[in-house]
Structure 1
């Protein structure tokens, strides 16, 4: 699923919002402030905007020169954007991060002094196609920023960040370290030498209402892992991890050695589901696109944080693979 991008503007800026949305097809799923499903009956404007800020992966606020203000002391006039556009930019900036909220400013729109020295996406209606300030060129730079932000994890206060850190520290790291150092597994009551080891972390496309248990059973059955061999790895403190793994080639008898390929579907992902239920309790039956988007974002962030830690550890780098968006 494409990331969710909220586009806010004044009424005069709607034509730019529509054009930008057309250029972002296949890159981001745009939600514009004037879409029918944004401001719902019996909901306040601020309440709706706060919710959209929490649900959005990215935000783009279009600052057009709609109003004229007069400085009484200096006797000067300035073309300025609507104050609500600037307010909403600040709201989404705090909710999504400095790398995920963008101000799209029309040339000549006088911005607050807080933007002095800050690079802003500025477009000029008079610019020729292909010029640096032509709207299509500016959207091209926006697309580059979206792709760059998508490849990074957000180490913020979201459940998936802490869950991924704990999963790596308490499971992936000690397992790979033991396999790499000791090269032994307990198999059929015997100590077996491990020639090579590989771990695959499988992440579902979405989480069932009751967690990842059913997905785990179905995945194991589809890939015949329920009939795979089982071994135990001893770790510090006497705790042992039972594994599903594949033996390649299947050796038998004393002195056997094996290539161990471990598969794991993190049950800690269930906590993401519970956190979303607390944040967005459901009172209706049916598809909730907001929940689906939030769940997808958390799963993506879980994978990105995990990938970051895997790549920084000697025992896990090159030995752990993450499969994302797996559907059965």
Structure 2
């Protein structure tokens, strides 16, 4: 699951936008404003407000589309709607995740002079279309380093998935890892003893209104056995697979699908005021983003805790590492 970037521009800026999309696509899911994001059956502002919530980053291309007269002087300026979209994304994703990519002759409002922006020079191709010069990819590479760092550090924002990931880690994963390490080479799970154990967190591909049923079906399918494990805090129902036979087994694989994720599914339904069966494209994109964020935040928390780092892994529901 890749972080998602929205790239906005005027119609005249599409050649620049396509260069940006091509550059970032290997590592990011990139959406251009004309990729069907904006729905014709809704008001523009309503759709834009929803769409801004679907993305991790917003890039706005300020091309020299218009000429504005300011204090009796003329300046090249970006199209008004592009400036408006930038302001909206700035409010939704934050100042460290909304970026301006501007043509070097464009004047920008003084209120946003302190934000991070990329400036490019242009030339004309053989068809007379204005395009960025050869140095543009170097500029984009510098921008990519910035957002790669943002992704690596995690985004501890106020998304529902952030709060849910922290709660899941603190109230289950960390306590379970502590108990496994505390028991050493005699780990009691149900009526069996194990020499060692690993914790495997299974992230589903999509959300379900009843995550407990989805988890039950998944673990039956892969033939994991349900049994309890007791920590100093409480007893937990878990699913286990062992690597050998007999009363004393070598290693237990303790697997869990976070049923707490059902809270995200309910939050998405409330946000979109769902009154239908099935999921719209917007709901699916939001779901993917929340699962993405949950996984990134959880991975960050695990990497910072010594016991968890040693014995916890995150996989998808095809058992592939994430």
Supply the distance in 1 between the matched residues of 2:198 and 2:250 (Cα, whole angstroms).
12
Superposed CA RMSD:
3.0
Q: 1:264 pairs with 256, 260, 281, which one? A: 256
* Cα-to-partner distance string for 1:261-288 (whole Å, 9 max, x where unaligned): 2111111011111111111133445552
Deviation at 1:306, TM superposition (A): 1.2
CA distance in 2 between partners of 1:92 and 1:63 (Å): 14
- Equivalent-residue separation in structure 1 for 2:317 and 2:57 (angstroms): 21
Deviations 1:192-249 (A, max 9, x none): 4x432210000111123x3323432332233221xx373532423xx32243323343
Instruction: Give the number of aligned pairs.
Output: 313
Q: Distance in 2 between matches of 1:22 and 1:316?
A: 37
Q: After superposition, where does 1:1-328 map in structure 2 within 5 Å?
A: 2-41=2-41, 43-72=42-71, 75-116=72-113, 118-126=115-123, 134-183=135-184, 184-186=186-188, 192=193, 194-208=194-208, 210-225=209-224, 228=225, 230-236=227-233, 239-252=234-247, 256=248, 258-324=250-316, 326=318
Change (3 A) 1:229 1:274: closer
Q: 2:60–2:86: 8 Å Cα contact kept in structure 1? A: yes
1:116 Cα deviation (Å)?
Answer: 3.4
What is the CA-CA distance between 1:56 and the residue it aligns to? 2.1
TM-score normalized with structure 1 length: 0.82
> Deviations 1:96-154 (Å, cap 9, x if unpaired)?
133332211001111122343544111111399xx986334334444444444443421
Instruction: After superposing the two structures, state which structure 1 stretch, 45-54 or 135-144, moved more.
Output: 135-144
Which structure 2 residue ranges, 5 or more long, are not aligned? Answer: 126-131
Cα distance in 1 between the residues matched to 2:307 and 2:45: 49
CA distance in structure 2 between the partners assigned to 1:251 and 1:325 by the alignment:
28
Aligned CA distance change for structure 1 residues 287 and 268 (closer, same or farther; 3 Å): closer
Q: Measured at CA, do residues 284 and 187 of structure 1 come closer, stay the same or move farther in structure 2, by a change above 3 Å?
A: closer
Change (3 A) 1:298 1:112: same
Larger radius of gyration: 1
CA distance in 2, matches of 1:246, 1:45: 52
Distance 1:287-1:234 versus aligned 2 partners, 3 A rule: closer
1:318 aligned counterpart, secondary structure: helix
Q: Using the alignment, how far apart are the partners of 2:295 and 2:136 within structure 1?
A: 34
By how many angstroms is 1:175 displaced? 1.3
TM-score normalised to structure 2 length: 0.84
Report deviation, 1:322.
0.7
Structure 2 residue matching 1:249: 3-state secondary structure? coil
Separation of aligned partners in 1, 2:39 and 2:289 = 22
